[in-house]
């Protein structure tokens, strides 16, 4: 009779390391097949594009457009195939450096107090002051001319007639049979005017919906969510606006009052940055 371990005790332990654990994409694919669903059916139920579903099942998260979108897609697909998304999200965080911590608000505001922005000349105030001076001069001339002779009265009537909304237009009617030239159509800048001392970006979704993200020059999040078809958002900052468009083909941009004519492809993820000089300089 021998004393010691039995042959069964000498069998190698089963490999339960993380390397033996199935990948996120494999778990989602196996669950989808077990549920009897096709990729097209999962895409239709979750509104996650077919190409992204295939990429995630192949453990390729680059087409998602970032960790925030990847985590959201994993959660959505897991629920669609009836499995708990929490273990998959924990596995994704462990494999990709952990879940990003939210940016604290207090240091951002403190930094702006310590380093105030250098603003340029206030041209708006200068223009208002110049208009006040001109109006005052015209008013003084009209009052002074009221006590004079006929020539002075005529001049005052001409000045009053030039005020918008009173009297008839001073320009003579065309003498020929041709109609007067029509005014040109308003430009893009007139349609979406914006102050010159800031960068203004208007994002609209006329062709469909898209996930968008917008940050200011300090990296503070201005918006992070879904923009439905027909909706629009306007963002403004003193220096620059950073954008991420989940489906750039569905988006129309106006930057500093000018329509962006870039031909974005449907389903393409675009990362864009605009400043006060764009789009002429950018």
Query: Where do the structural domains in the chain lie, given as residue ranges?
Result: 20-95, 188-275
Reading the block at residue 210, the tokens are 């898209």
Q: Whats the size of the chain, residue-wise?
A: 282
Selection from 208, 267, 195 nearest residue 234 by Cα: 195
Cβ atoms of 222 and 235 closer than 8 Å: yes
Exposure string over 179-202, b if 16+ CB within 10 A, otherwise e: eeeeeeeeeeeeebebeeeebbbb
Residues in the chain with pLDDT values less than 50: 1-10, 12-16, 106-112, 149-172, 174, 177-181, 183-192, 281-282
Omega before residue 279 within 30° of 0, cis: yes
Tell me, what's the pLDDT at 131?
92
Distance CA 62, CA 70 (A): 8
Partnered with residue 244 across adjacent β-strands are: 213, 271
Reading the block at residue 209, the tokens are 């919906």
Tell me, what's the pLDDT at 277?
78
Cβ atoms of 212 and 233 closer than 8 Å: yes
DSSP 195: -
Cβ atoms of 273 and 243 closer than 8 Å: yes
Give the side-chain half-sphere CA count within 13 A for 133: 6
Cβ atoms of 215 and 221 closer than 8 Å: yes
Distance CA 78, CA 75 (A): 5
Cβ atoms of 252 and 136 closer than 8 Å: no
- What are the pLDDT digits (tens) for 142-193? 767 665 544 444 443 433 444 444 444 444 454 554 444 454 444 444 444 5
Tell me, what's the pLDDT at 52?
95
| CATH number, span 20-95 | 1.10.260.40
Cβ atoms of 200 and 235 closer than 8 Å: yes
Whole-model pTM: value is 0.34
């Amino acid at each position: 009779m021998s004393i010691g371990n039995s042959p069964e005790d000498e069998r190698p332990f089963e490999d339960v390391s993380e390397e033996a654990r199935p990948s996120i994409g494999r778990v989602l694919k196996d669950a989808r097949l077990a549920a009897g669903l096709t990729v097209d059916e999962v895409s239709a139920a979750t509104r996650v594009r077919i190409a992204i579903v295939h990429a995630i099942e192949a453990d390729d998260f680059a087409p998602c457009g970032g960790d925030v979108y990847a985590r959201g897609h994993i959660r959505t697909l897991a629920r669609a195939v009836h499995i708990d998304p929490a273990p998959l999200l924990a596995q994704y965080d462990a494999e990709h450096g952990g879940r990003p911590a939210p940016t604290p608000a207090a240091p951002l505001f403190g930094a702006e107090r310590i380093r105030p922005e250098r603003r340029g000349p206030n041209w708006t105030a200068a223009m208002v002051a110049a208009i006040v001076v001109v109006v005052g001069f015209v008013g003084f001339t009209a009052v002074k001319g009221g006590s004079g002779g006929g020539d002075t009265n005529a001049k005052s009537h001409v000045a009053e007639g030039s005020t918008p909304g009173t009297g008839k237009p001073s320009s003579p009617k065309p003498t020929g049979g041709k109609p007067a030239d029509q005014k040109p159509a308003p430009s893009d800048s007139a349609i979406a005017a914006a102050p010159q001392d800031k960068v203004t970006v208007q994002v609209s979704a006329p062709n469909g919906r898209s996930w968008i993200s917008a940050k200011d020059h300090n990296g503070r999040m201005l918006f992070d969510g879904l923009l439905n078809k027909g909706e629009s958002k306007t963002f403004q900052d003193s220096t620059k606006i950073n954008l991420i468009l989940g489906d750039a083909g569905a988006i129309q941009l106006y930057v500093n009052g000018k329509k962006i004519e870039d031909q974005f492809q449907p389903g393409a993820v675009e990362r864009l940055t605009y400043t006060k000089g764009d789009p002429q300089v950018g």
